[in-house]
Amino acid sequence: MKINELKNTAFAALRFLSHAGLLAYAPFPAWAEDTSAKKPNILYIVADDLGYNDVGFNGSKEIKTPNLDKLAKEGTILKSFYAQPLCSASRASLLTGRYPCHTGIYNVVRPDVPWGLPLEERTLAQALKEAGYETAIVGKWHLGDQPAYLPTRRGFDHQYGLWTGNIDYFTHMREGKLDWHKDDKPCNDQGYSTHLIAREACRLIQEKNPDKPLFLYLPFNAVHFPYMVPDNYLLPYSNLKGNRRVLAGMDAAMDEAIGQVIAALEAKGIRDNTLIIFNSDNGGPGPGTISDNSPLNGGKGSIYEGGVRVCAFVNWPDHIPSQATNHAVLHEVDWFPTLIKLAGGSLEQKLPLDGRDIWSVLSKGARSPHADEVTLCGTAKGLIAIRSGDWKLLIQGKGKKNNAPELYNLAEDIGEKHDLAATHPEKVKELMAQFDAVMKTAVEGAGSKAAGPNAKDHDEN
């Protein structure tokens, strides 16, 4: 039997253990740890405002995402992967390995404000560049549009796309101002933004430096408002209405674009040594009318599951189990230390990390470092949820049930329909102690003096 067949047989056994609830304790063969001496290329794809159930691999029957589904099937689907409830906050956490309560990026970094991701924060791009990687961002930045905060000042060798958000997909204008840039200089490329992002990503792969591994950060602005897509993408979705139909077309266009990028990796001969990660930056907006976050409760902007638990998978042939589902509690902050360690980089830095190395969770089914506690920050200081095991405590802040905590058992109630705070006071007390510990180190919002306490509605970010 060939080595790949042996691996697939072993992974099949591991999938059985996973379904039986025993994966976290299953012994894995030594080759599951072998990342090889050759540093992997890293393709990190982020969708914008994509609903938990708006992809086929999570069960969508309405929207077709064949390229994402294939990648997910050939890799591991992450069923309990958490991000932040808004665009900028999610990107800040991913690129720093730190929660919003420590970066201060709770809400949206709007255009022309004199602040962004704090300059003392070390980014994933900086760390990977130090480790010998060629680094590129193609897509949406959204962490500051003033000179010191731009991508090429924060560790990226190449930049292409938009600095902010909410742009016209065809003209690339926002509020009368062009927001399309290449290497952080104005760019007048014409076309639908999703198509342009794919084209540039493919170009970078084709022209990749042969002497360096590539870190390609690919954050699409799809499927974020405004809802716009070429008419041909609407044709398969005549059964849907209004913005739901347009979102479906946008989702399909993004899926097509991702397929083109994967084809470029294959043509370059580097597909097998490329770690591919995919997730949405937050839950979908307008759940039930625009997005589908089922079976989760709530959507974008909230710290209910529908706002922070997102569709996600990881794929790396012969290193990550295929046709697998991992239910371990993971957070996007974890990718910072995990990727740097895989890249052979240094985790020494001034600011402490919230993220934890999750490679053994992904490759060997080890217990999650967040099994006992993960912090889910909302859109302002003090808006926090604490998940511990199957239990989740929410503190929604003033104006929500007189600031009374809410408690849910996600194993029995993934839709967060039954508040158990009144009947489980000891569990509330236990998780409130964790909340209090988080608040001791929580910082005020970055730029809060300039932005004021009432930032614009998140649907306009």
Catalytic residues: 87, 142
For 7, 33, 44, the CA distances from 36, given in Å and listed in that order, are 16, 9, 20
**Angle subtended by helix axes 87-96 and 335-342, to nearest 10:** 40
- Per DSSP, the three-state class of 117 is coil
Do the beta carbons of residue 227 and residue 247 sit within 8 Å?
yes
Tokens of 32: 């599951």
End-to-end CA distance of the chain: 54
Tokens 């995919």 -> residue:
278
Do the beta carbons of residue 104 and residue 444 sit within 8 Å?
yes
- Per DSSP, the three-state class of 41 is strand
Query: CB within 8 A of 8, min separation 6: which ones?
Result: 322
Of the candidates 86, 221, 84, which has an alpha carbon nearest to the alpha carbon of residue 166?
Answer: 221
Q: What is the CA radius of gyration of the chain?
A: 21
Tokens of 95: 């690129």
Residue 451, Cβ density class (10 Å: 0-12 exposed, 13-18 middle, ≥19 buried): middle
Do the beta carbons of residue 206 and residue 266 sit within 8 Å?
no
**Type of residue at 354:** D
